[in-house]
Structure 1
Amino acid sequence: MDLFNIETGFFLVDGGALFGVVPKLAWNAEYECDENNFCKLVMRSLLIKSKDKLILVDAGVGIKHQDVMSEFGFSGLKPVEEELKRLGFSCSDVTDVVLTHLHFEHCGGCTWIDYDFKLQMTFPNATHWVAEEQWKAMLNPSAREENSFFLADMMEVFKKEKLKWINDEQEIADGVRLAFADGHTKAQIVVYVNDGKENIIFAGDVVPTAANVPLDWLSAYDLDQVAALEAKRNILEFAVKNGSKLFFCHDKKVVSAKIAKAKDFYAVVE
């Protein structure tokens, strides 16, 4: 099994929102911000090449939303097809797309707009794996999440019958397991990869950056703080016990790292 890091651009979030109740003096020592308190985050996907599958975990924001989302400070945007080409693959080669959740910066790259202003699928041959509860949340969002979803990101996938809803933990390829974590949003998918050599956890926005590893460094974006804390605890415990690396989808500097535990405190191992 081969694993590849794919980065498709950056965006800005308020540091106070990213780290919740953690004082700025503490979080800013771990993650830098600009003079307006904005932290620069990357959009990072994981590409998994197994014996018979090419699996992409998350697809970035894409390039179709730029005009209506300037407030997020997107920069350095790259179509995911360019990154795939750099690695020797094409969008048609992708057999599976796992979407941790359906917030725009994780699934927007699944569709694009052609010269006739029609939506097209980026990965025409891929099965797109989505938690059914997350799909329902997108169709009927709460007031907290309604600005995080865009139907245009996924409806073409639905129309082409390339959407696979899941409700239970399952393995989609040898050594690639999908599980669930509530808290940040409903039924976020967590991807566990283990082929006997590589042992990686793609935790999505449960642990978006290395600076978010401490258990109570929760994001204000998390819908349910108690559930988010327990989901994070479960992931961190698994990582410690199994020597897993956490793959950070939004940390602009740290791609992945192992986790250490001392009493009830978790930290990144340099």
Structure 2
Amino acid sequence: MKLSSVRKGPFTLYTIETGRFKLDGGAMFGVIPKPMWEKQIPADDQNRIDMAMRCLLVKSEQTGRLYLIDNGSGDKFNEKMSAIYDFSYPYGNLHDSLAAHGFTADDVTDVIFSHLHFDHCGGTTSYNEAGEPELVFKNANFWVGAKHWATANSPNIRERASFFKENLEPMRLSKRMKFTKEGDEFEPGFGMAFVHGHSEGQQLPVIRTGDFSLVFAADLIPTAAHVPMPWVMGYDMRPADTLSEKEVLLKQWFEEGCYLFLEHDAQNEVISLVQGKRYIEAGDAITLADL
């Protein structure tokens, strides 16, 4: 299984692979012409590109808490949806990855969501023998941006198809929902940045310890090909805002020496940032173990 880990200060970081799926390449790159984006990520005969659902497990040696950032799409899709997205598990699923690092879902104390689109939170629940969705993480708190929780529960017509009741309702009923806002931290050295172009209130977890910084880039920078300024997803609710957020945050993260952990890039796990002629660009592609 393609997994890696690293200890940085009080945090041990683990790659969690939850599966692969495919999305339309045109939708992933918006106004960028196919002859340009296909050089970066080739498409299949249905114009779909390979996408990872790579999550990050963070163990705090100070507090003993075990944080899981996002958890993939889960296993609740019917045959039609499975065919559309072509789900596959070349490196195992969520539970395989946890087990490879010596953990189970019951060990997770906190599930942090970048946002609640199905490919980021579907692993939160699974169907029981009665066909009802139940929580996979029996002992965890569920952390999401307060603004995004409101969006997920009252989405606009364009975004509605990305939020599934079977993922959200069991969390609501659990009484373990926790809501974050600007300036919050999960614990010292572990905070978040908020962005709103892709979906209102998306939170990007950030780990800072000593001279090391790592950003879970989620759907602000889903792949290394999305680092260049004009390369923005057609899925974004407010693409002009995404451009502004990228320009500000990439400059900040480059100056800070941040690495980006890429959730959806099927080939690249972590990248550095470098200064280009005009804007910040993607640097070296590495793994957690290389940090």
* CA shift for structure 1 position 267: 1.5
* CA shift for structure 1 position 67: 3.4
Structure 2 unpaired stretches of 5+: 1-10, 285-291
Determine the C-alpha separation between the residues in 1 that align with 2:25 and 2:274.
25
Instruction: Summarize the alignment of residues 145-224 of structure 1 with structure 2, pairs less than 5 Å apart.
Output: 145-196=159-210, 198-224=212-238
Determine the C-alpha separation between the residues in 1 that align with 2:256 and 2:211.
12
Tell me which of 95, 98, 101 is aligned to 2:109: 95
* CA shift for structure 1 position 204: 0.7
The reply on whether 1:72 has 2:81 as its aligned counterpart is no
The reply on whether 1:44 has 2:58 as its aligned counterpart is no
Q: What secondary structure does 1:185 align onto?
A: coil
What TM-score do you get using the length of structure 2 for normalisation?
0.89
Q: Which amino acid aligns with 2:111?
A: V
* CA shift for structure 1 position 211: 0.5
Instruction: Summarize the alignment of residues 58-137 of structure 1 with structure 2, pairs less than 5 Å apart.
Output: 58-70=70-82, 71-76=84-89, 78-137=92-151
Determine the C-alpha separation between the residues in 2 that align with 1:235 and 1:151.
32
Work out whether residues 126 and 162 of structure 1, in 8 Å CA contact, stay in contact via their aligned partners in 2: yes
The reply on whether 1:8 has 2:18 as its aligned counterpart is yes
Q: What secondary structure does 1:59 align onto?
A: coil
* CA shift for structure 1 position 85: 0.9
Tell me the C-alpha RMSD between the 2 structures: 1.5
Q: Sequence identity of aligned pairs in percent?
A: 34
User: What corresponds to 1:54 in structure 2?
Assistant: 66
Q: What secondary structure does 1:107 align onto?
A: helix
Tell me which of 22, 29, 36 is aligned to 2:32: 22
Determine the C-alpha separation between the residues in 2 that align with 1:84 and 1:41.
20
Determine the C-alpha separation between the residues in 2 that align with 1:234 and 1:107.
27
Work out whether residues 212 and 257 of structure 2, in 8 Å CA contact, stay in contact via their aligned partners in 1: no
Tell me which of 2, 16, 32 is aligned to 2:42: 32
* CA shift for structure 1 position 197: 5.6
Work out whether residues 16 and 54 of structure 2, in 8 Å CA contact, stay in contact via their aligned partners in 1: yes
Work out whether residues 19 and 94 of structure 2, in 8 Å CA contact, stay in contact via their aligned partners in 1: no
Work out whether residues 18 and 220 of structure 1, in 8 Å CA contact, stay in contact via their aligned partners in 2: yes
Determine the C-alpha separation between the residues in 1 that align with 2:17 and 2:132.
26
Determine the C-alpha separation between the residues in 1 that align with 2:280 and 2:39.
17
Work out whether residues 17 and 93 of structure 2, in 8 Å CA contact, stay in contact via their aligned partners in 1: no
Determine the C-alpha separation between the residues in 2 that align with 1:25 and 1:84.
38
Deviates most, 183-192 or 108-117: 108-117
* CA shift for structure 1 position 68: 5.0
Structure 1 unpaired stretches of 5+: none
Deviations 1:97-145 (A, max 9, x none): 1100010000000111111223221111111111122111121111110
Q: Which amino acid aligns with 1:135?
A: W
* CA shift for structure 1 position 196: 2.1
Q: How many residues align?
A: 270
Work out whether residues 22 and 217 of structure 1, in 8 Å CA contact, stay in contact via their aligned partners in 2: yes
What TM-score do you get using the length of structure 1 for normalisation?
0.95
